[in-house]
Amino acid sequence: MEVKRGFLKGFFDSEGTTEKRPRVGLYNTNTQLLELVKTLLDNFNIKSYIYPAYSASTTPSLWIHSKKDVENYMLNIGFFIERKIKTIKGK
């Protein structure tokens, strides 16, 4: 599980985004990679959703929406980047 946790933490640090709602997201043109990330998140009981590109100007994305799942993400995976941690905490 530590390898999975480390992969997710590093990948979301480099490719992910955070919002104050709170939400955690990830954009990537490789939908197979998004599917892998979703499967890995499932291993931590974190529910996520994949959204296809809906126009030529968008990229497929994966989002963690619910407050419970975002809290679970922060507890079990988290971020190295302080800015992303502060955004989720609303500070």
CATH code, 14? 3.10.28.10
pLDDT of residue 91: 62
Give the whole-angstrom CA distance, residue 20 versus residue 5.
23
- Residue-number span of the structural domain to which 38 is assigned: 2-89
Percentages helix, strand, coil for the chain (3-state, rounded to 5) are: 50, 20, 35
Taking 90 as the threshold, does the pLDDT of residue 4 lie above it? yes
pLDDT tens digits along 19-76: 888 899 999 999 999 999 999 999 999 999 999 988 777 899 999 999 999 999 999 9
The number of distinct structural domains making up the chain is 1
Give the whole-angstrom CA distance, residue 35 versus residue 55.
20
Position with higher pLDDT, 80 vs 34: 34
pLDDT of residue 20: 85
pLDDT of residue 29: 92
